[in-house]
Structure 1
Amino acid sequence: MRHTNRTLHAALGISQHLAHATLGRLPLLRHTLTTARRVQIAYVSGDGEATMRVIEPAEVRRSKAGDWYVRAHDLLRGANRSFRLDRITAYAETA
């Protein structure tokens, strides 16, 4: 997983690092998920399982408990899924 995170972070380039520093991680992630057609994410589930996913975001919303989620079509699972944003450890927009 560490190698994958480094590869994703290297692919993001300096512009996203500057945006993270300026905007903060969560606002930039929410923006990416609301504007991108497809996003590759490194995701850690509630039980600690780390996976790489390619998703097609449909909606970003905040739960009543205050957590942010993205509802998306998960190409790995071939179904709609919800992902908690604080469990996305790395991401990159894909073609």
Structure 2
Amino acid sequence: MLKVRMKLKEKKITIPVPYPILNLLLRVITSKKITRFVNKAIENDGKKFTIPQIDKKDVKPLLKALIEYRGLTLVETKLKDGTEVTVKL
């Protein structure tokens, strides 16, 4: 399970993201329709940047690797105003 923890000045927020939901989100993001929609939105702004199509076959090994490395800290940031964000597997 992916865990996102945010510590603000007065609040602490923890957002758990189970792997099946993460898998579903990655399938939606890698779909051809979403990629076309995002590229059309970028073209409307007049920019020349395009997002390449990502195959679902390439994402599956990534998810399997995430499951193997439980407890690993991916991101840990602290800002000057006291805000902290931590993303752990």
TM-score range, shorter chain: under 0.3
Q: Which has the higher contact order (CA 8 A, sep 6+)?
A: 2
TM-score using structure 1 length = 0.23
TM-score using structure 2 length = 0.24
